[in-house]
Structures are given as structure tokens and as C-alpha cells.
């Protein structure tokens, strides 16, 4: 394993924060920041949100469990990994287990953390935690939220990877979890 990277760039310091708008899934802040070496200040918009999770879930016969749902931001359906928002006080692994069960009806006792990524560090303060769930079995029906309409699909891993490569699966955080999964698989084979 390589040594950790040493960041050299000067960090900006927060001078003040003001809540601009509280929303149901994030809060918008106007954040005033200062770069000390230049005595330079500027205002930035920051979205404060809870952490999220994504689950690379595989059945006992190594099928990837995917969810198809409509996404309001792009006004189109997407094909994704199961995922969701960490509830207040809920550990990311517990969120992963809950979301997999609620969205797909699948569960397992075989979990591996694949690490976390910054959801969008240019404007958001949260992280997305990625998990690998193996030997998943169907244990219940879906338990969807009021606005969720989700169809579950199972695909062989190579079809899933091809969908990511082709852009059929284009959610950036799903792509990040896929990369984490592939790096994990590579490390297991070394």
C-alpha cells in the first residue's frame, strides 16, 4: 500500500454561515470564506445534507441487484444500485441494510465496507458510503416510501459492468461504488 498523499494547498477558513433555505433533503447555506495568505474573502453556496449509502448487492448466484426508478432531477428513469439517506443517528451500515431490504426485499449477513466518497465536494458537505453485500436472498416484499416506485432487476455482473461502461447506468455515485467494488475485487486477487 502506498503512503498517504500530503495536501499542500492552503485551506479556506469559514468566516460565517447563513441558512438560506431549509429543504426536506438538504439545507442551502451562504458561506463566507477567507483565504488568509491573500486576505481574500468570497461567498459560496453550500448544500448541507446527511450522508448517503450505495450497496453493490450480489445474490447467492452472483447476480447484481439493481433498482429502476424515476429520477426527478433529470426527469427520466434510471437503473441504479440500492441506496439512500442515513437517518439521524443511524450508522451507514445500518442504513445500507435498511435500504437494501426496503427497496428490494433482499437481505444478507455478509457485508464489506468499500469506503466512502465525497458526494460532490464542490458544493456539498456529505459523503456517500459504499458497501458490498454478498449472498443476498429475497426475504420480503419491498417497503417503499410514499413517493418511491421501484422495480427490481437482477443482472449478471458482466452485464451490469457493461451497462455502466455504455452509460445505461450513469448515476455518478453508482459509478463510484462500482469503481470501489472493482478495486476491492482486485485487492482480493493479489
Residue pair 66/160 in contact by the 8 Å Cβ criterion: yes
Closest CA to 134 of 161, 108, 114: 108
Instruction: Indicate if the pLDDT at residue 143 is higher than 60.
Output: yes
Class of domain 52-189: alpha beta
Provide the residue ranges of all domains of the chain, joining segments of one domain with +.
13-48, 52-189
Using the predicted structure, report yes or no on whether residue 190 has a pLDDT greater than 90.
no
With bands split at pLDDT 50, 70 and 90, how would you rate the model's confidence at 148? confident
**Over pLDDT 70: what percentage of the chain?**
99
Q: Is 1 a residue whose pLDDT tops 70?
A: no
Instruction: Count each helix (H run) and each strand (E run) in the chain, helices first.
Output: 3, 10
Bridge partners of 29, per DSSP, are 19, 46
Q: Which residues contact 173 (CB under 8 A, 6 or more apart)?
A: 52, 54, 83, 117, 119, 128
Residue recorded with cell 448466484: 61
Average pLDDT over residues 149-153: 96
pLDDT in tens, 49-103: 999 999 999 999 999 999 999 999 999 999 999 999 999 999 999 999 999 999 9
The rounded mean pLDDT for the chain is 95
Amino acid at each position: 500500500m502506498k503512503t498517504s498523499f500530503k495536501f499542500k494547498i492552503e485551506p479556506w477558513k469559514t468566516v460565517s454561515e447563513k441558512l438560506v433555505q431549509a429543504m426536506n433533503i438538504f439545507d442551502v447555506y451562504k458561506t463566507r470564506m477567507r483565504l488568509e495568505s491573500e486576505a481574500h474573502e468570497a461567498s459560496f453556496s453550500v448544500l448541507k445534507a446527511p450522508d448517503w449509502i450505495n450497496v453493490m448487492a450480489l445474490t447467492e448466484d452472483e447476480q447484481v441487484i439493481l433498482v429502476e426508478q424515476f429520477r426527478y432531477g433529470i426527469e427520466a428513469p434510471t437503473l441504479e444500485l440500492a441506496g439512500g439517506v442515513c437517518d439521524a443517528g443511524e450508522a451507514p451500515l445500518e442504513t445500507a441494510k435498511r435500504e437494501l431490504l426496503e427497496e428490494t426485499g433482499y437481505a444478507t449477513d455478509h457485508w464489506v465496507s468499500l469506503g466512502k466518497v465525497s458526494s460532490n465536494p464542490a458544493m456539498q458537505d456529505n459523503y456517500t458510503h459504499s458497501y458490498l453485500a454478498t449472498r443476498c436472498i429475497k426475504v420480503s416484499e419491498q417497503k417503499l416510501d410514499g413517493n418511491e416506485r421501484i422495480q427490481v432487476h437482477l443482472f449478471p455482473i458482466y452485464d451490469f459492468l457493461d451497462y455502466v461502461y455504455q452509460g445505461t447506468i450513469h448515476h455518478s455515485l453508482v459509478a463510484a461504488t462500482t469503481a470501489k467494488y472493482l478495486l476491492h475485487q482486485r485487492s482480493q486477487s493479489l
